[in-house]
């Protein structure tokens, strides 16, 4: 496509600028404030330093295996040699939204022959709920999936279908290794696009479906890897919670969920209004190619259970990308005119600036919280046996604290033990071998509430303080805890405090018990320790 005379959003520099803008929220935070990411960083530290750290060897084991969830685990090995673990992780994570936006806009260009101004509305979905939740291997695989999908469309447009078949065998395997979900999503989009292409070439639906299946065989080899992965020692992990419509509705309205419910909900409403307008407007229409992809992805979303192989939120992860594909599918009709296109472009940019600006402010606020809490680690020695309890609430608060896996930064910075690492058969390469921790060996033992939540595995903080094995730990870290009975901290010496958060040293290993009828003594009576 000739760029001379094209509006800015159709030019390469405009696409590059949009991709770079998408990285803005992650520039300031030292540790990207995403729910699961600190936990993943703890695993990266183990994989990088286990061989040379007796402390880590006492707490963890790590064995490489070919699984469909290795994206940053592999990338961090060379990147950390240059930038270190923390900066290296930040740089990789920072690149994910930029790559995702580049994929969105490249797909739009391949399908429409140009980047329509409406495609810019898809940019904020690079910061969808799954990314903010910290599913970083998944998000990286989705970025690669959209880039690969654009390449798939381009090779078909140029008539290089045999070259495409040869190239997409290794491409599909590489994306599967990053994360299985990206490979699956690529397969759905590629098949649906090829189905439409074959239909447009004059085949009926049955013949078009058969031809699309043949062309999609280049994406099949990872199925063999999947069979190997889910056999032998990697068997395990629950798959269930099918057709949970209440959860699916929540995931739908959470597509842009970050901090402020009204802002996030109205942002999504604006996108739904755009899609409705595209249906009724005489100046807008949809690409049948991408509309088919969106429809297939919607069917996958409706059919997916909430838990797959022990990994929760499987269906939730698809929602922002499903909506983004629907938005990218919108095109301008020939009668739209340049004035209408410019107005749409500036409306889209207003939406992008508001959303990216909101993400930037939210991440900056969370970075300040992370800095305050992580100051506790200045008082934790190398190789410490640390048990942590992070305050949370029952239900699904819209604004998540994103502190649930912050204890893993003790692994990153102190080679300490942290009781927040995951234990899912076949999904993780790390195993906890510190069995003295008992019921405080892995996630979600670090999450506590004021009272026991119905249908949750989390303990109350009083239960955790009363039951954790004192002879197995030297330090107790309470991160923004709920109210608790101060008498349960007998034998714990406070050595650091910031607001409600406190770090204790275990000085008396005698278990503390209270009679069931004993009145509660609030934690505010605790002596204040110097930070």
Model pLDDT for residues 456-514, shown as the tens digit of each residue:
788 899 999 999 999 999 999 999 999 999 999 999 999 999 999 999 999 999 888 76
Q: What is the arithmetic mean of pLDDT over 129-138? A: 95
Please state, rounded to an integer, the average pLDDT across all residues of the chain. Answer: 91
Containing 205, the helix (H) or strand (E) segment is: helix 205-215
Residue range 223-247, pLDDT digits in tens: 988 888 776 555 555 677 787 888 8
Instruction: Tell how strand 386-391 and strand 330-332 pair up.
Output: unpaired
Residue range 414-448, pLDDT digits in tens: 999 999 999 876 667 999 999 999 999 998 899 99
For residue 394, the model assigns a pLDDT of 85
Q: Which residue has the tokens 């410490």?
A: 384
Cβ atoms within 10 Å, residue 460: 16
Name the pLDDT band for 528 (thresholds 50, 70, 90).
very low
Annotate 30-55 with DSSP letters as a single string: SS---TTHHHHHHHHHHHHHGGG-HH
Give the whole-angstrom CA distance, residue 47 versus residue 70: 12
Question: What sections of 66-84 are H helices per DSSP?
Answer: 71-83
pLDDT at 186 over 70: yes
Q: What is the DSSP letter of 508?
A: -
For residue 236, the model assigns a pLDDT of 54
pLDDT at 116 over 50: yes
State how far the alpha carbon of 17 is from the alpha carbons of 97, 112, 139, 172, 301, in Å. 13, 20, 21, 28, 32
Burial of 117 (0-12, 13-18, 19+ CB in 10 A): buried
Q: How many helices (H) and strands (E) does the chain have?
A: 18, 10
Name the pLDDT band for 6 (thresholds 50, 70, 90).
confident
pLDDT at 338 over 80: yes
Angle, helices 37-49/85-112, rounded to nearest 10 degrees: 120
Annotate 91-115 with DSSP letters as a single string: HHHHHHHHHHHHHHHHHHHHHHSS-
Distance of CA 521 to the CA centre of its chain: 39
State how far the alpha carbon of 402 is from the alpha carbons of 245, 399, 450, 519, in Å. 26, 9, 18, 32
Angle, helices 37-49/71-83, rounded to nearest 10 degrees: 70
pLDDT at 1 over 70: no
- Please work out, in degrees rounded to the nearest 5, the angle formed at the alpha carbon of residue 163 by the alpha carbons of 190 and 14: 60
Give the whole-angstrom CA distance, residue 272 versus residue 269: 5
Lowest mean pLDDT among 49-53, 119-123, 381-385, 420-424: 420-424
Give the whole-angstrom CA distance, residue 37 versus residue 131: 10
For residue 511, the model assigns a pLDDT of 87
State how far the alpha carbon of 129 is from the alpha carbons of 34, 92, 251, 252, 317, in Å. 10, 18, 8, 10, 8
**Residue percentage of the chain with pLDDT more than 70:** 93
For residue 237, the model assigns a pLDDT of 59
Cβ-proximal residues to 506 (8 Å cutoff; 6+ apart), any chain: 470, 473, 474, 475, 476, 491, 492, 493
Closest CA to 134 of 426, 477, 401, 442: 401
For residue 8, the model assigns a pLDDT of 87
Q: Which residue has the tokens 């889209």?
A: 348
Half-sphere exposure (Cβ direction) of 174: Cα atoms closer than 13 Å: 12
Closest CA to 324 of 142, 152, 161, 513: 142
State how far the alpha carbon of 324 is from the alpha carbons of 75, 101, 224, 417, in Å. 27, 10, 30, 40
Omega cis (within 30) before 444: yes
């Amino acid at each position: 496509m000739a760029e001379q005379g094209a509006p800015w959003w159709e030019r390469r520099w405009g696409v590059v600028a949009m991709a770079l803008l998408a990285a803005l929220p992650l520039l300031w935070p030292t540790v990207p404030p995403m729910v699961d990411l600190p936990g993943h960083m703890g695993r990266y530290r183990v994989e990088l330093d286990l061989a040379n750290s007796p402390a880590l060897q006492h707490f963890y084991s790590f064995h490489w295996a070919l699984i469909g969830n290795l994206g940053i685990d592999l990338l961090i090995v060379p990147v950390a040699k240059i930038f270190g673990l923390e900066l290296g992780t930040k740089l990789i994570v920072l690149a994910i939204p930029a790559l995702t936006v580049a994929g969105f806009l490249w797909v739009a260009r391949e399908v429409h022959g140009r980047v329509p101004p409406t495609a810019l509305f898809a940019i904020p979905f690079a910061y969808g709920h799954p990314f903010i939740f910290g599913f970083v291997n998944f998000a990286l695989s989705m970025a690669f999936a959209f880039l690969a999908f654009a390449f798939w469309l381009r090779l078909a447009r140029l008539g290089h279908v045999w070259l495409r078949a040869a190239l997409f065998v290794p491409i599909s395997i590489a994306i599967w290794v990053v994360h299985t979900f990206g490979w699956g999503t690529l397969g759905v989009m590629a098949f649906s696009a090829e189905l439409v292409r074959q239909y447009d070439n004059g085949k009926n639906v049955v013949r078009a479906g058969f031809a699309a299946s043949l062309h999609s065989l280049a994406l099949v080899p990872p199925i063999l890897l999947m069979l190997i992965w889910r056999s032998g020692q990697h068997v395990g992990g629950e798959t269930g919670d099918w057709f949970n419509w209440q959860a699916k509705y929540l995931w739908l309205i959470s597509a842009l969920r970050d901090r402020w419910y009204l802002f996030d909900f109205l942002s999504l409403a604006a996108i739904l209004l755009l899609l409705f307008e595209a249906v009724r407007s005489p100046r807008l229409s949809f690409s049948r190619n991408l509309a088919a992809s969106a429809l297939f992805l919607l069917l996958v979303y409706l059919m997916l259970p909430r838990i797959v192989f022990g990994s929760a939120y499987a269906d939730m992860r698809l929602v922002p990308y499903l909506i983004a594909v629907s938005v990218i599918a919108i095109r301008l009709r020939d009668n739209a005119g340049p004035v209408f296109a410019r107005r749409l472009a500036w409306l889209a940019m207003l939406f992008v600036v508001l959303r990216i600006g909101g993400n930037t402010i939210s991440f900056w606020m969370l970075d300040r919280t992370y800095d305050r809490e992580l100051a506790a680690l200045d008082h934790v020695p190398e190789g410490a046996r640390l048990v942590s309890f992070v305050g949370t609430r029952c239900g699904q608060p819209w604004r998540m604290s994103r502190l649930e896996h912050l204890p893993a930064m003790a692994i990153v910075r102190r080679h300490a033990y942290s009781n927040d690492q995951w234990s899912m058969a076949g999904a993780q390469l790390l195993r906890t071998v510190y069995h003295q921790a008992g019921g405080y060996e892995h996630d979600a033992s670090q999450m506590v509430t004021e009272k026991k939540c119905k249908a949750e595995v989390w303990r109350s903080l009083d239960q955790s303080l009363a039951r954790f094995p004192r002879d197995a730990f030297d330090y107790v870290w309470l991160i923004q805890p709920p109210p608790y009975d101060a008498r349960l901290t007998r034998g714990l010496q406070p050595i650091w405090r910031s607001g409600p958060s406190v770090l204790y040293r275990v000085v008396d290993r005698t278990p503390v018990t209270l009679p069931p009828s004993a009145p509660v003594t609030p934690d505010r009576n605790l002596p204040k320790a110097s930070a």
